[in-house]
Amino acid sequence: MEERELRALVDRVKAGTLSRRRFVRMMVGLGLTAPMAAQMLASAGVVEAQAKWTFNPTKRGGGGLVKTLWWQAPTLLNPHFANGTKDQDACRIFYEPLASYDPDGNVIPVLAAETPSLQNGGVAKDGMSVTWKLKKNVVWHDGKPFTADDVVFNWEYVMDPATAAVTIGPYRDVVRIDKLDSHTVKIVFKSPAPFWAAPFCGAATGVIIPKHLFQAYKGDKSREAPNNLKPVGTGPYKFVDFKPGDIVRGEINPNYHVPNRPFFDQVEMKGGGDAVGAARAVIQTGEYDFAWNLQVEDEILKRLEQGGKGHADIVPGGNIEHIQVNTTDPWTEVDGERASAKTKHPILSDPAVRQALNLLVDRGSIQEEIYGRTGIATANFLNAPSRFVSKNTKWEFNVEKANQILEAAGCKRGSDGVRAKDGKKLKFLYQTSINPLRQKTQQIVKQACAKAGIELELKSVTANVFFASDPANPDTYSHFYADLQMYTTTMTQPDPQRFMDQFTSWEVSGKDNKFALTNKTRWRNEEYDRLWKAAESEMDPVKRAALFVKMNDLVIQNVVVIPVVLRPGVSGVSNRMRDVVQSGWDSNFWALAYWSKT
Amino acid sequence: MSKYFLRRTLILIPVLFGISAILFTILVMAPGDPFEELATNPNVPPEVRMNLRAKFGLDDPLPVRYARWVASMVRGDWGFSFVSRVNVDTLILQRLPTTLIVLGSAQLLAILVAVPIGTYSALRPYSIFDQIATTLAFIGFSLPTFFTGLLFILLLSIHLDWLPFIYRSDISATGWRWYWEHVRQAIMPVAVLGLAQAASMTRFMRAAVLDVIRLDYVNTARAKGLSEGVTLVKHVVRNALIPVVTLVAIQIPTIFGGAIVTEQIFRVPGIGSLLITSILTRDYSIIQFVALVLAVLVILVNLLTDLAYAALDPRVSFRA
């Protein structure tokens, strides 16, 4: 999709012939993120829809206890050390960012007084800085005022390498933060920042901790801060109790900066157990009000829903289950390294074989028979506009065509039915992590490939090993010592720039970087690199989106990866709960202050 | 006696070192690492992970890491969890009471069930009561706790909706309500663990009573004209309990093992569930500590039993 077509779509939203939500969905279908889509609309002057709540109380509190269940238990309460979404969510009960991302990717101010934009002068025209006005009269739970000093301190805290903060990502692009007055900060970037809403926004990296309690614990002493376990934030709930790996409890903050919120008097986040048990406690027995990340087969969810106490809430996000196709040769050792970037895959380097593989993944059956509501078949990253207008995005599953392509490419069937090219058999090793859904998917792909004369050998590795970052273990996904591999890549971050660097030539994963870099397929393409660099500093959101769409096209046309299904987030919500709005781009608790119950 | 005690205690030192070395090597060589979740999150730059590994000393050679670990253990510094960055002792102390309450009640339940049933079965061997008790006992110890746990949840929580199946250490109610809630949520895990224990204990009790009841002093007691009740309680059961008590002591570490699974099923926030989550996240310091404590427990219980035998029966050689 070209820039021109994107502009036409934006105009249609402006004219009201295309709904905002539909537009955002289309952009996500193109491999962009909702926050980026929202930015495109904002730049065209389409006013942000304000979140609407069904329940608008006239006084604070009175809702009693809300019980939530995370089958992975939170382990710490310092957002800058969060080990995963479970910790980010737990921190978000007490701490807040300057702004959150709503389901459509809009930047909704929380601790900020307003969302910066080109129109109100918050965002500099050259993209080199963004100015945030902070909400006045916000106090920390201990009564101290929240000011610009706290914002500046968080940047210093995160940037100190000895602190070892995991939230450093978006802050590395910041040169300095100027405090203009007690409630205004100006963030100055190293280079034009098209996505200025990365620092201090969203629960993953943006929440702010108080300077007065953490300034003595910056750097080496970061682990010793007593408040790592006893958060003092600005959020709707004050800290009561925390047992790492078990439970977090909070009580209502009587001075919360949003009037008449929150509704519940106490909040409890219990951790541990398994996903099915969590689904049961919310959806079937109603013992709990909310459950996180129900990675449970849809069939089971449907059966539990018959009880009528709760339901599965499916939230579209950007997570994609996909198959990666190796471009290097995993079976030859060069300089003591298999799948070295210096090699080329003997068979998979043939575009015809890649095209054939793409035709042999039966996404329809995979969605229908395996994932149900929890996996939406996707040709994803695809380009033809007519397909996006039609509701059913088309992918193709065509054994016939695959056979023709292979035949034309000179891959002849041998006596055992397996094709061979230049004496090399079309036999591939297809690896993934152990997970019943993935093993079933492997079977479906294997059967289709067999019909086209490609033999797949299936391998499954324990998830703990497959996703480990241990440079000495050859079975990890980052070594990719196989021909094909499948897993879900998470695209929960609001801007695709970092996500798309997994196809750039400087990110090739290998022995010299301890397999830590992100380009696992080791595909390299000059045009892609050029587009990526252009997008990094392109300030026009629509032009930038067009660049990303082109990058996606390159990846798909060259069959570097074969998208299988989009995996939306699944939460369990009690039928009595109201306004439990989930955003695929922010924490499950981003709207906790607005939750209520009948 | 004191010499024997000293010798046995001294042997413990090399044994402990051996165990710690094996534990450490196996754990460290196992694949996976504590920062796995950061590795799959594209928001976190790889340098952060590398930095953390270096900071927590995970990149040092194995012997260096082992020496450092032993040295800090000897100093009484148990290290801290890589995942929550909290000291191991804080984490363990937080969870110890829950585990002790659940395991203690389970053990108590087991004794309360096993002793009377075992005794009565032995008094009327091959009666209908004995047949039923034996059958139930066999079912009891052939079913693993994770299975009975799920059956209990299915029946009592889901079909009948009587009991909660999620254990909460923080219950906000006060007074009697607080006790009641605690009892209610503890019923299932305690029953699962306790009944599994009771099953084997019943068999031991029955055998022990059968052995004792035939002995001469029991006949003497009866001949003296003591009532059946007094004979039973003072002469039979008391003597029969000696081997049973030893058995119970030796089984304590095994019970800990069983508790790990049960805690996970009912989300009991005890040491067992801490161990499981730590294993899943490769949180070395916690796994090493809990495993070491279990090992020490086994050794200590064995030592105590040996010493107790020696004290009870001087024929067990002090000199050898």
Which DSSP string do the residues of A466-530 spell out, in sequence order?
Answer: HT---TT-TTSTTT--SSEEEEEEP--SS-HHHHHGGGSGGGB--GGGTT-SSBSS----HHHHH
What does the alpha-carbon distance between residue B164 and residue B171 come to, in Å, rounded to a whole number?
Answer: 13
What does the alpha-carbon distance between residue A236 and residue A242 come to, in Å, rounded to a whole number?
Answer: 17
CB contact under 8 A, A75 and B84: yes
pLDDT attached to residue B9: 80
* pLDDT score of A263 more than 60: yes
What does the alpha-carbon distance between residue A413 and residue A417 come to, in Å, rounded to a whole number?
Answer: 5
- Selected residue of A85, A159, A221, A246 to mutate for chain B interface (largest B Cβ count, 10 A): A246
Residue from B251, B234, B239, B246 nearest B208 by CA: B239
Give the residue on B whose Cα is nearest the Cα of A474. B31
Phi, psi for A433 (deg, rounded to 5) = -90, 160
- Selected residue of B27, B28, B29, B41 to mutate for chain A interface (largest A Cβ count, 10 A): B41
* pLDDT score of A388 more than 60: no
pLDDT attached to residue A483: 95
Give the mean pLDDT of chain A: 87
The partner residue sitting opposite B36, judged by closest CB among A228, A467, A493, is: A467
Q: Coil, strand, or helix at residue A92?
A: helix
Give the mean pLDDT of chain B: 82
Structure confidence at residue A69 as a pLDDT band (50, 70, 90): very high
* pLDDT score of B314 more than 70: no
Q: To the nearest 10°, the Cα dihedral for A513, A518, A522, A524?
A: -110
- Selected residue of A89, A167, A469 to mutate for chain B interface (largest B Cβ count, 10 A): A469
What does the alpha-carbon distance between residue B139 and residue B136 come to, in Å, rounded to a whole number?
Answer: 5
- What is the residue-wise DSSP string for B43-79? TS-HHHHHHHHHHTTTTS-HHHHHHHHHHHHHTT---
pLDDT attached to residue A460: 92
CB contact under 8 A, B43 and A517: no
* pLDDT score of B236 more than 90: no
The partner residue sitting opposite B158, judged by closest CB among A75, A169, A285, is: A285
The partner residue sitting opposite A247, judged by closest CB among B35, B169, B265, is: B169
Residue A586 · residue A567 · CB < 8 Å: no
pLDDT attached to residue A538: 87
Q: Which residue has the higher pLDDT, B30 or A250?
A: A250
- List all residues of chain B from 148 to 187 with a beta carbon under 8 Å from chain A: 157-158, 161, 164-166, 168-170, 172
Q: What angle do CA A436, A438, A441 make, to 5 degrees?
A: 110
CB contact under 8 A, B84 and A76: yes
pLDDT attached to residue A573: 95
Q: Which of A213-217, B14-18, B220-224 has the highest mean pLDDT?
A: A213-217
Closest chain A C-alpha to B85 CA, distance in angstroms: 6
Residue from A124, A153, A148 nearest A134 by CA: A148
Closest chain B C-alpha to A278 CA, distance in angstroms: 9
- For A364-391, what is the mean pLDDT? 64
What does the alpha-carbon distance between residue B69 and residue A24 come to, in Å, rounded to a whole number?
Answer: 53
Burial of residue A374, with CB atoms counted within 10 A of its CB: 0-12 exposed, 13-18 middle, 19 or more buried: buried
Residue from A260, A222, A201 nearest A62 by CA: A260
**Bridge partner residues of A238 (DSSP):** A251
Chain B residue numbers touching A465 (CB-CB < 8 A): 31-32
What does the alpha-carbon distance between residue A529 and residue A506 come to, in Å, rounded to a whole number?
Answer: 9
Closest chain A C-alpha to B154 CA, distance in angstroms: 11
pLDDT attached to residue A389: 32
What does the alpha-carbon distance between residue B83 and residue B102 come to, in Å, rounded to a whole number?
Answer: 26
Closest chain B C-alpha to A21 CA, distance in angstroms: 26
Least confident of A96-100, B56-60, B127-131: B56-60
Q: Which residue has the tokens 């080496």?
A: A220
Residue from A11, A202, A236, A23 nearest A107 by CA: A202
Closest chain A C-alpha to B181 CA, distance in angstroms: 14
What does the alpha-carbon distance between residue A302 and residue A314 come to, in Å, rounded to a whole number?
Answer: 13
- List all residues of chain A from 458 to 477 with a beta carbon under 8 Å from chain B: 464-465, 467-470, 473, 475
Q: Which residue has the higher pLDDT, A565 or B42?
A: A565
Residue B163 · residue B219 · CB < 8 Å: no
Chain B residue numbers touching A241 (CB-CB < 8 A): 170
Phi, psi for A271 (deg, rounded to 5) = -120, 165
Closest chain B C-alpha to A361 CA, distance in angstroms: 25
CA distance readout (Å), A568 to A76, A321, A413, A590, B119: 26, 10, 40, 17, 60
The partner residue sitting opposite B166, judged by closest CB among A165, A205, A281, is: A281
What does the alpha-carbon distance between residue A150 and residue A177 come to, in Å, rounded to a whole number?
Answer: 11
Closest chain A C-alpha to B296 CA, distance in angstroms: 25
Q: With pLDDT > 90 as the criterion, what percentage of chain A qualifies?
A: 45
pLDDT attached to residue A384: 33
Closest chain A C-alpha to B277 CA, distance in angstroms: 8
Query: Which residues fall within 8 angstroms of residue A576, CB to CB, at 6 or more apart?
Result: A289, A597, A598
Closest chain A C-alpha to B52 CA, distance in angstroms: 6
Chain B residue numbers touching A469 (CB-CB < 8 A): 33, 35-36, 38-39, 49
Closest chain B C-alpha to A144 CA, distance in angstroms: 27
CB contact under 8 A, B49 and A270: no
DSSP strand pairing (A596-597 vs A184-189): unpaired
pLDDT attached to residue A250: 95
Cβ neighbours of B204 (radius 10 Å): 18
Structural element, H or E, at residue A424: strand A424-425
Tens digits of per-residue pLDDT, A122-156?
A: 999 888 999 999 999 899 999 999 999 999 999 99
pLDDT attached to residue A492: 64
Q: Which residue has the higher pLDDT, B235 or A311?
A: A311
**Bridge partner residues of A421 (DSSP):** A424
- What is the residue-wise DSSP string for A249-307? EEEE-TT-SSTT----SEEEEEE-S-HHHHHIIIIIS-SSSEE------HHHHHHHHTT
- For A554-573, what is the mean pLDDT? 88
Residue B112 · residue B197 · CB < 8 Å: no
CB contact under 8 A, B36 and A468: yes
pLDDT attached to residue A419: 92
Give the residue on B whose Cα is nearest the Cα of A77. B84
A vs B, Cβ pairs < 8 A, gives: 149
- Selected residue of A65, A166, A228 to mutate for chain B interface (largest B Cβ count, 10 A): A166
Chain B residue numbers touching A490 (CB-CB < 8 A): 40-42
What does the alpha-carbon distance between residue B287 and residue B88 come to, in Å, rounded to a whole number?
Answer: 10
* pLDDT score of A182 more than 70: yes
What does the alpha-carbon distance between residue B236 and residue B226 come to, in Å, rounded to a whole number?
Answer: 13
pLDDT attached to residue B312: 65
pTM assigned to the model: 0.82
- Selected residue of B92, B267, B275 to mutate for chain A interface (largest A Cβ count, 10 A): B267
Give the residue on A whose Cα is nearest the Cα of B261. A273
Query: Which residues fall within 8 angstroms of residue B128, CB to CB, at 6 or more apart?
Result: none
Residue A15 · residue A72 · CB < 8 Å: no
Phi, psi for A310 (deg, rounded to 5) = -160, 175
- List all residues of chain B from 67 to 126 with a beta carbon under 8 Å from chain A: 80-81, 83-86, 91, 94-95
Chain B residue numbers touching A280 (CB-CB < 8 A): 158
Q: Which residue has the higher pLDDT, A176 or B168?
A: A176
Cis status of the peptide bond prior to A262, with omega within 30 of 0: yes
Burial of residue A291, with CB atoms counted within 10 A of its CB: 0-12 exposed, 13-18 middle, 19 or more buried: buried
pLDDT attached to residue A385: 33
- For B43-56, what is the mean pLDDT? 77
Q: Is A244 on the interface with B (CB under 8 A)?
A: yes
- For A228-250, what is the mean pLDDT? 92
CB contact under 8 A, A169 and B43: yes
Chain B residue numbers touching A288 (CB-CB < 8 A): 166
Tens digits of per-residue pLDDT, A395-428?
A: 788 899 999 999 999 888 988 889 998 888 999 9
pLDDT attached to residue B319: 53
Sign of CA dihedral B202, B203, B205, B210: positive
- List all residues of chain B from 51 to 70 with a beta carbon under 8 Å from chain A: 51-52, 55
* pLDDT score of B42 more than 70: no
Tens digits of per-residue pLDDT, A495-544?
A: 888 888 889 999 898 888 888 788 999 999 999 999 999 988 888 888 88
Chain B residue numbers touching A76 (CB-CB < 8 A): 83-86
DSSP letter at A367 equals I
Chain B residue numbers touching A488 (CB-CB < 8 A): none
Burial of residue A417, with CB atoms counted within 10 A of its CB: 0-12 exposed, 13-18 middle, 19 or more buried: exposed
Q: Which two tokens stand for residue A354?
A: 């890649």
Q: Is B264 on the interface with A (CB under 8 A)?
A: yes
Least confident of A102-106, A413-417, B101-105, B285-289: A102-106
Least confident of A291-305, A417-431, B168-182: B168-182
Burial of residue A409, with CB atoms counted within 10 A of its CB: 0-12 exposed, 13-18 middle, 19 or more buried: middle
What does the alpha-carbon distance between residue A30 and residue A552 come to, in Å, rounded to a whole number?
Answer: 8
Q: To the nearest 10°, the Cα dihedral for A238, A230, A208, A221?
A: 170
What does the alpha-carbon distance between residue B45 and residue A214 come to, in Å, rounded to a whole number?
Answer: 24
* pLDDT score of B94 more than 60: yes
- For A238-242, what is the mean pLDDT? 94
Closest chain A C-alpha to B291 CA, distance in angstroms: 18
Q: Which residue has the higher pLDDT, B104 or A91?
A: A91
Q: Which two tokens stand for residue B157?
A: 């929580």
* pLDDT score of A318 more than 80: no
The partner residue sitting opposite A247, judged by closest CB among B35, B168, B274, is: B168
- Selected residue of B35, B43, B92 to mutate for chain A interface (largest A Cβ count, 10 A): B43
Give the residue on B whose Cα is nearest the Cα of A493. B43
